[in-house]
Amino acid sequence: MEMKKELCDLIFSKGELKHDIYYSTIETFELFRTIAKDIIAQLKERNKQTEKDMRFDFIDRGDFEFEIRFASDTLVFMMHTNVFEFSRNHEVMKSPYIRENPERSYCGVIHIYNFLTDSFLYQRDNDLGYLIGRVFINKEKHYFIEGKRELGMLYNNFNTSLITNESVQNIVESAIEYTTNFDLLTPPYDEIKVVSVGEMRNNFDKKSLVTAKRLGFRFQADTDVQH
């Protein structure tokens, strides 16, 4: 039996759409990689001039991941290989930009996570990181960001925000700014006052004690902006 034409058309049209979005996201991620690497190079050069003993590194983790390390912080940029659509209840879906063409609501995603650099250097596997932002990119290379403070409040106009060298530079710098201002707080005393013999034998300070910037506090208390 011959396949239904409507189903065949649907498969090819949706497949072409996702193909276009995937490559828009790949190109955007490569731009993030290039600009992040350049920022780290600038920080390294500035560090040489000031003769400060600070660490700045760019670490490539393959096609879909890279890290930048600056002072005591690490930002991990990860691209998801799949294409997503915003839920019907999402604020983005109410915009004229999406209503004019529903295909614009399909996006690739780049996640930005913040970790403590020492968590990697000392292999503290129990330490926690935080998603500080995720960048959605559609086939037209318009972008939208859900995230914390600097990221979420500055980059949420989907219909006018376009991926360019300048916009990516601003996003990376905003992520660095937020991370630098997001300080490590001492954990509540009662959470660490009791230590087992096993934890002490297993190198308490490196493995068993969970370290995170807001351990014991509600990270969500920071300004979440989701549109």
| pTM beyond cutoff 0.85 | no
Helix (H) or strand (E) holding 147: strand 143-148
**Residue 155 pLDDT greater than 80, yes or no:** no
Contact partners, residue 142, CB within 8 Å, separation at least 6? 97, 104, 158, 159, 160, 161, 162, 163
Find how far residue 99's CA is from the centre of its chain. 27
Task: Kindly state the average pLDDT of the residues 141-147.
Answer: 92
Average of per-residue pLDDT values in the chain: 84
Among 5-14, 49-58, 202-211, which is the least confidently predicted range? 202-211
Binned at pLDDT 50, 70 and 90, residue 91 comes out as confident
Out of 27-31, 88-92, 134-138, which region has the weakest mean confidence (pLDDT)?
Answer: 88-92
**Sole residue written with tokens 């935080």:** 130
Residue 110: closest CA among 169, 25, 170: 25
Domain segments of the chain as ranges: 5-225
Cα–Cα distance between 96 and 101 in angstroms, integer?
A: 9
Q: Which residue has the higher pLDDT, 186 or 128?
A: 128
Query: What percentage of the chain reaches a pLDDT higher than 70?
Result: 77
- Residues 63-92, mean pLDDT to the nearest whole number: 94
Q: How confident is the model at residue 2 (pLDDT cuts 50, 70, 90)?
A: confident
